[in-house]
Structure 1
Amino acid sequence: MSLLGSMTTAISGLAAQSRALGHVSDNVANSQTVGFKRVDTNFTSWLTRSNLRLHMPGSVEARPDYTNTVQGTVEQVENPLAMAIAGQGFFSVAQARGGQGDDVVFDDRQFFTRAGDFAMDRDGYMVNGSGYYLEGWQIQQNGEPDRTNLGPIRISELVYNPQPTSGIDLAANLPANVATVAAVPGAAPWAPTEEPVSSVIQIFDDLGNQQQVTLDWWRLDVDTWRLRITPDGDTIAPVDGIFADIDFGGQITAGPPAVDAPAGTISAITPLSATTGTVPINEGEPAELGFTANYGYGDQTISIGLGGFGLPTGLTSYSGTEYSVRDLSQDGVPLGSFSGVTVRENGDVAVNYDNGQTRVVARVPVVAFNDPDKLQRLDGQAFMRTVESGEARVTDAATNGVGKLVTGSIERSNVDIAAEFSKLILAQRAYTSNTRIVTAADEMLQDTINMKR
């Protein structure tokens, strides 16, 4: 009869509102949890019998309504390894099952999270506050990420090995308005007694020791300058010096057709002593001068880039009385020690060293699903893929519809306290109302029983 049905329906209402209250309680408790996604309540009606003439009371069921796609507030923090996703997507993470250091054993299952409060642990892994290990693509020797292999990111490159200098780049203007130097018969190559214009650069040998190289210039005639290279500490430099002549504004190639360099630009390099020089075939080809030094650890070949033949870049000889250097750099690197880790907006994890160098060791991808709300929830704001959620699509950040990475930030919970208290009031009132239905049905059943008296 309807009295018993009414009581049963009211009891189901009590159970449904209790579940709704539990969702509100969970949301409020996690209002400050990083990456937490609130759970709303979806009430579903179940009918016993209903047609045009009769409707029997049924029941109500409270189901969780997940909000995994609702963005939480992105907040900037001081942690350089923290990340937030602005948009759709998740971080791929792993869970450790035991061990430490090189012997850490990870669960074969794949997990996902929005909690990006990552920090480096004692073993060099990037771990968030819930203990999940961030996964990424390792960087190959060609500088590109290996997108076929996704695994926990570990920072183990704590030392940057020294790299000997192999190239020097010089961009300068040799003043065309200074006096030429008189020739010395029978002494070629030679270093004139006049004061040269000079450049000094620090380079590095095979062990990362700093060495000094001096470049001295004399103007021989209108279009020719003589260069002396002096690598201090070199054991194989000729006694009379390392020399080469640089011509400006002459013929680059005899052709056909003949090609002339514009005035003030390099037209030829003439090696004189212990040097090598490039011979141009076409205008614009790199103008390079090479020499070999030895600091006690084997021969070290070094090239000096002077720009391009016939181009007003690199080394030029235009008007002026002062030697002006625009750029003088080299590619050697001293020994470096670990100084920190940063994450770039494209997901690259870069290790910084105290020698000014940076090495990218991994890239953090973003994982997307067709229906993220159907993911299976786990402890620690983590999720697992389900059949209903669809396959995991791993891709670079800010591509293929996934969100951007916001570095140095975290995503706060998407819980709105004001909205939750509104739901709390409604759940409380609905629960109380259902108790009144139970009380009324009980009294009416009691009246029915008393009828036989």
Structure 2
Amino acid sequence: MSFYTSLSGLRGAQTDLSVLANNIANVGSIGFKRSRAQFGDIAPASNTTAGQGARLKGIEQQFTQGGFETSSRELDLAISGAGFFVTRDAVANGTTFFSRNGSLSVDGQRYLRDSNGGYLQVLPVDNEGNVTATGLEAAQNLQLPLTSGTPRATNLLQLTANMPATAEKPEDRAVFSPSNPYVFDRLDPNSYNFSQQTTVYDSQGNAQSATLYFVRTGSTTAGDTADTWDVHLFVGNTEASAGGTATTPATPLELTFDGAGVLTAPTGAVAFSSVFPSGASAPLTLSLDFGTATTQSPGTFNVSSLVQDGVASAKFSDISIGEDGLITAAFSDGSIKALGKLLIATFSNPDGLRERGDGRWSVTGESGPATVGVAGSDAFGRIQSGALERSNVDLTEELVALIAAQRNFQANAKAIETSNSMAQSIINLRS
């Protein structure tokens, strides 16, 4: 019997060596938790017989917290305290896993996923960042938005400008002659006096460049009956026609001033024909309104006010995660939007979780059901962004334990050798 007793000791020492080797091998694995083999003796048959060896009672995981490794990535997360990140391995109806590995990234569909490809689970929040539904059944995948807000197409441009009374008429410039007659051409600076650029938006909030070209067409000081200016409106490379009807060539808007430099026409907003510039999602129909403060005076050309009524789509620009697990997105217009709060899970007996590899665990009957909540509340740990939790393996401790396991193996092997020698001696007595 002593042979089998020592054999059980050999098997136990071998298991202990395997557990220690696994711990040492994963010293660099993010979120890894070391294990420890637990052994017990096999009870003797009676008070007059020796014990029958050792048995493996189980391999227990040690969920003590590992040290933090700082990182410059906003999406590297660590839990300071108790709790696990919750992930699912599919967009819908996936298996739920629990992990301490907070190395996250954004996939091609803008979902937030961990290093194993699992979809990070969050709780829904309102605009103020308050959780609106709780429990594991309320958890959802987090998909980063591309835009924020409701876009609106530009319909009206309102301008206040001063037109120089001393400006010359481009048609009188020396570059034009009977052999080279004057024709407005936005690509020829000699054919207009001034230009003003602004941005308008289509129905999807996409930005389009709009340019106004001002051409002096009448001057009382030059003998004309009125002071007039033509205003050409281009959206992208397409010119719109004043009056709301498309014409070829496009009709410019005419501004008329009296002798005191007061704008006499037009007296309100003037509609232009629809244009469909390259890159726009739909045609744009714009109106120009120069108001009552636009003047003609001896001063320089100046646009003191230029506003449009369109609203752009704010583009997603950045993501941040707070200590309480609140995930917020920043957009190009400076707005901030709350997207969700990280779901954190704890267990009454985390040692009972089943190890699934790659720093993941799943629920078992021994672990009990998950208790879920948000970071920083009750017994849940807080989130540290820009850090990762290292393995909780202490190399010094593991190497000492490795020497002890080796000694145990050698001692049990020696006991088997001794038992074998005794058996051989008994056999030799018969001969």
Paired amino acid for 2:374: D
1:66 aligns with 2:60: yes
Deviation track 1:326-358 (CA, whole Å, cap 9, x = no partner) reads: xxxxxx985321112221111111112122112
Q: 1:141 to 1:359 in 2, by over 3 A?
A: closer
| Distance verdict in 2 for CA 1:349–1:30, change over 3 Å | same
Aligned to 1:14: 10
In structure 2, runs of 5+ residues without a counterpart are 153-199, 208-285, 289-309
**Pick from 32, 44, 62: which aligns with 1:48?**
44
Query: Contact 2:325–2:382 at 8 Å: present in 1 too?
Result: no
Kindly provide the amino acid, as one letter, of the partner of residue 138 in structure 1: P
Query: Which residues in structure 2 correspond to 1:37-436 (within 5 Å)?
Result: 37-51=33-47, 54-96=48-90, 104-107=91-94, 109-140=95-126, 143-148=129-134, 149-161=137-149, 334-436=312-414
State the Cα RMSD in Å: 2.7
User: Partners of 1:410 and 1:143 in 2: how far apart?
Assistant: 25
* Per-residue CA distance 1:100-137 (angstroms, 9 max, x = gap): xxxx4442x32111111111111212211122221111
% identical aligned pairs:
28
Give the counterpart letter for 2:9 in structure 1.
Answer: G
Please state whether the residue corresponding to 2:133 is helix, strand or coil: strand
Equivalent AA in structure 1 for residue 77 of structure 2: M
Contact 2:318–2:329 (CA under 8 A) maintained in structure 1: yes
Distance 1:114 1:68 in 2: 13
The question of whether the paired residues in 2 share the 8 Å contact of 1:17 and 1:430 is answered with yes
Q: Deviations over 1:131-162 (max 9, x none)?
A: 22211112246753232443343324111235
Q: Is the 8 A contact 2:350 2:367 kept in 1?
A: yes
Q: Which runs of 5+ in 1 are unaligned?
A: 97-103, 165-203, 210-294, 298-331
Residue 118 of structure 1 aligns to a residue whose secondary structure is: strand
Matches of 1:385 and 1:124, distance apart in 2: 28
- The separation in 2 between residues aligned to 1:355 and 1:56, in whole angstroms, is 80
Matched, 1:28 2:24: yes
Residues 305-325 of structure 1 show CA distances to partners (whole Å, capped at 9, x for unaligned) of xxxxxxxxxxxxxxxxxxxxx
| Deviation per residue, 1:183-208 (Å, 9 max, x gap) | xxxxxxxxxxxxxxxxxxxxx99988
Given that 2:325 and 2:383 are in contact with CA atoms closer than 8 Å, whether structure 1 keeps it comes out as yes
* CA deviations over 1:36-81 (Å, ceiling 9, x no partner): 0000121211123242xx2323121234443443001122212211
1:333–1:355 CA contact under 8 A, matched in 2: no
Structure of greater Rg: 2
CA contact 1:91–1:113 (8 Å) conserved in 2: yes
**2:31 counterpart SS class:** coil
Distance 2:116 2:55 in 1: 32
Whichever residue aligns with residue 445 of structure 1, its letter is A
Aligned counterparts of 2:424 and 2:410: Cα–Cα separation in 1: 21
TM-score (norm 1): 0.58
1:366-387 CA-to-partner distances (Å, cap 9, x unmatched) read: 1111111111111221111122
3-state SS of 1:415 partner: coil
Indicate if the aligned counterparts of 1:10 and 1:438 stay in contact, CA closer than 8 A. Answer: yes
Match of 2:425 in 1: 447
| In 2: Cα distance, 1:431 partner to 1:76 partner | 40
Letter in 1 for 2:331: Y
Aligned amino acid, residue 6 of structure 1: S
- Structure whose residues are more often strand by fraction: 1
Deviations 1:236-293 (A, max 9, x none): xxxxxxxxxxxxxxxxxxxxxxxxxxxxxxxxxxxxxxxxxxxxxxxxxxxxxxxxxx
Say how many residue pairs are matched.
282
The answer for the alignment partner of 2:297 in structure 1 is: none
Which residue in the other structure is 1:282 paired with? none
- Deviation string 1:361-410 (CA, Å, 9 cap, x unpaired) is 11102111111111111122111112221221111211121111111211
Paired with 2:339 and 2:287, the residues of 1 have a C-alpha distance of 33
CA contact (8 A) 1:137 1:364 kept: yes
Partner Cα separation in structure 1 for residue 338 and residue 128 of structure 2: 11
Give distance in 2, aligned partners of 1:12 and 1:45.
Answer: 10
Q: What CA distance in whole angstroms lies between the structure 2 residues aligned with 1:444 and 1:133?
A: 62
State whether residues 20 and 62 of structure 1, in contact with CA within 8 Å, keep that contact through their aligned partners in structure 2: no
Q: Which amino acid aligns with 1:129?
A: S
Supply the distance in 2 between the matched residues of 1:69 and 1:336 (Cα, whole angstroms): 44
Are residues 333 and 347 of structure 1, via their aligned partners in 2, closer, same or farther at CA, if it must alter by over 3 Å? farther
Q: Which amino acid aligns with 1:363?
A: K
Checking the alignment, whether the CA contact within 8 Å between 2:127 and 2:338 is kept in structure 1 is no
Where 1:75 maps in the other structure, the secondary structure is strand
